[in-house]
Amino acid sequence: MGRVHAEIDDDLGAFLRDQHVFFVASAPLAGEGHINLSPKGLDTFSVLGPREVAYLDLAGSGAETLAHLRENARIVFMFCAFEGRPRIVRLHGRGRVIEPHEPEFAALAKRFPARVGTRSVVCARVERISDSCGYGVPLLEYRGTRDQLELWAERKGEDGLRRYVDANNLTSIDGLPAARSRA
C-alpha cells in the first residue's frame, strides 16, 4: 500500500501544493523534551526542488519547530488528502531556519504570497519521501481560509510583532533557543 519515492516529481509536487493544510513535526534531542506537531496552511508551502521544500513561518503562539531545527535539524511534513483520492505523504528531512536579516531570505520569501507577520522561512532537504493509502482519513469539505492570524498581525504592526516575537518566541517550551531577537 505504501511506497517510497526517489524525489518529488511533478505529480507529487502538484499533490503537495494542492493541499490546504499540512502538518510539521519535530522533536528535541532530550528524551524528556516535548515533541511538537503543528498544522500549517494559508498557502505557505513551496517545493523548491526534487528533494527540497520550504514553508513560510508566521509569528504565533510558539516557536517549537524553530528551536528543534536549531538544535538537531530533524523535521517531518505530513500531507493528507481530505478531498478526492485518499493519500498521505510524508517528507522526512533536515531543516533550517532563514530569518529576514539573512541574505537568502528575500529570494525565498518571493516564492510565497506576502504575509504580515512573517517570522522566517523554514527550508528542508528531504531525505525520505513516502506515501500511504490514507483510507482512514475522513473526507472534509474545504470552505476557505481563516483571516484571524493576518488580522492579528496587522493590528500589532511591525513594532508590535517584533515585541511579540521577542516576548514569546525566543525560546521553546523546553527552554531551547528558537526565534532570534529583532530588537
Give 85-115 pLDDT, tens digit per residue.
999 999 999 999 999 999 999 999 999 999 9
Per-residue pLDDT at 61: 82
Question: Rounded distance, CA 98 to CA 92, Å?
Answer: 19
| Grid cell listed for 164 | 511579540
In the chain, what are the domains?
3-168 (2.30.110.10)
Going through the chain in order, the beta strands assigned E by DSSP cover 3-5, 22-26, 36-40, 45-49, 52-58, 74-80, 88-98, 118-132
Whether this prediction's pTM lies above 0.85 is answered by yes
